[in-house]
Amino acid sequence: MGRLFGTDGVRGRAGEYPLDAPTIRRLGAALARALGDRGGGGVRFLAGRDTRESGPWIERELAAAIGGEGGTLVSAGVIPTPAVAYLTPRMGYTAGVVISASHNPFEDNGIKVFAGSGEKFTEALEDRVEAIMADLPDLPPEGGSHTPEGGSHTAEGGSHTAAVASGLSRKSVEQIDYRPEYLDHLLRILPSDHRQRGMRIAVDCANGAATTVAPQLFERLGFDVRLIGDVPNGRNINLGCGSTAPELLAKTVVDGDCRLGLALDGDCDRAIFVDRHGRVVDGDAVLFLCAKQMKAEGRLRKNAIVATVMSNIGLEIGLRGAGIDLVRCPVGDKYVMDALLTHGLSLGGEQSGHVIFADDLCTGDGLATSLHVLRTMAVTGRELDDLAGELQTYPQVLLNVRVARRADLTTIPPVAAVLDDVGRRLAGQGRLLVRYSGTEPLLRIMLEGRDEAEIRRWAQEIAEAVKRHLSVGT
């Protein structure tokens, strides 16, 4: 079947491998054994989930498997991913488990694990869990088959989850409401003297995990909030809302005369902003404005930050002008955190809105990010569009080419020649990045440069060369 863990835990379509009940059971048992001192006994897991309809039955399967090994799983219910990362070490749990597929549609789900320190599992621990799973038999769910008749993902007239749940034990999972502790942590990020009470903002909760926390947070901070994406029904998570679809938020900001808008994703670990004019402010701009402010206050360790290879070259140039170095890392927030720890830095993130303030937490937190942005606005007395407008981004072109195999491009002379030629044309005035997707049979081609039409033409040249030599049928 290949490696179970991807760049952000185990992810797939709920009810199908690797998120079918037997695999989830084996995963739960393996986690307990990998982390337990004596075959799984005594381990305590804290679980959180987003609003997908498949979340509760996946949680029950994990709890049953962990319980079968002598461990326990306690559920914090619907709560942001970063809340589980924050609470796991502070409440004395062995590990944290989050059931979420982040920005994906409701049919998908996922399982990601945090170590007892609050950091995401290392690849070494993931390998140990997978090795244990390989020696375990399928552990069927209590009460019978976990697959709807006929094996289809959806049943006529009803959801897959409803069909699945009919075969499950209804034994409940212990629940503890830890939201007050997490809210107190967030409130400390924005001190009272930096809270602009009455300031009107719009918040898009993506019909996800943020719905249980964000309204209370901003109400306690004294903001005048316009909420959207705050009525989850199990199937509308990320649907036309959230960080991947900020159009409704932009309209809400402009129509409501808001100072800014905040769009979270399904599990609330990333944030995209909209300024008062309805323009999107991405993770690069957030890194830029927060890094400058942290440096001015002496809070930016080593005067450097971490960003992935996908961050715009304009960020690198702008930071350099402010006396701030940029360390690049592979795509994925766990790689951002690894680089932060390796280099001893305090700020890093991704263009997509995953931003890590390492002094607060070891993972991205969309709500914490919003508070740091609001704090910067309050301290400087400037609007978001003004702060973000100082970042001059270069045009960026992204192309995806479906490939039949993953070959070393340098071993294919016609492709290598085109890549070398484009690299020479950029001549230090842009960037070329070509990489394979970690989850799909795609080659991703990214170019940045001063002239968008020019780099688009060059990207197409690379894509055509790849299609001739690596596409299906070649």
**Contact of 286 with 353, CB cutoff 8 Å:** yes
Structure tokens at 182: 């997490």
**Contact of 389 with 380, CB cutoff 8 Å:** no
Helix 81-90 × helix 366-380 angle, to 10°: 100
* Alpha-carbon gap, residue 202 to 273, rounded angstroms: 10
Helix 283-296 × helix 366-380 angle, to 10°: 50
> Is 102 known to be catalytic?
yes
**Contact of 112 with 50, CB cutoff 8 Å:** no
* Alpha-carbon gap, residue 354 to 374, rounded angstroms: 17
Helix 81-90 × helix 179-189 angle, to 10°: 100
* Alpha-carbon gap, residue 255 to 276, rounded angstroms: 10
* Alpha-carbon gap, residue 201 to 264, rounded angstroms: 14
**Which candidate, 465, 378, 453, 455, places its Cα nearest to that of 416?**
465
* Alpha-carbon gap, residue 436 to 470, rounded angstroms: 12
* Alpha-carbon gap, residue 178 to 193, rounded angstroms: 26
SS3 12: strand
* Alpha-carbon gap, residue 405 to 421, rounded angstroms: 24
* DSSP label of 271: E
Burial string for 64-80 (b: 16+ CB within 10 Å, else e) reads bbbbebebbbbbbbbbb
* Alpha-carbon gap, residue 409 to 28, rounded angstroms: 39
* Alpha-carbon gap, residue 408 to 412, rounded angstroms: 7
Q: Considering 102, 311, 346, 352, which one is annotated as catalytic? A: 102
Strand bridging mode 347-349 / 355-357: antiparallel
Q: Provide the β-strand partners of residue 261.
A: 202, 274
Give me the DSSP letters along 65-111. HHHHTT-EEEEEEE--HHHHHHHHHHTT-SEEEEE--TTS-TTEEEE
Q: Which residue has the tokens 């990333």?
A: 270
Structure tokens at 402: 């479906």
**Contact of 253 with 202, CB cutoff 8 Å:** yes
Structure tokens at 113: 């694990």
CA 452, 251, 365, 55 torsion-angle sign: negative
Name the residues annotated as catalytic.
102
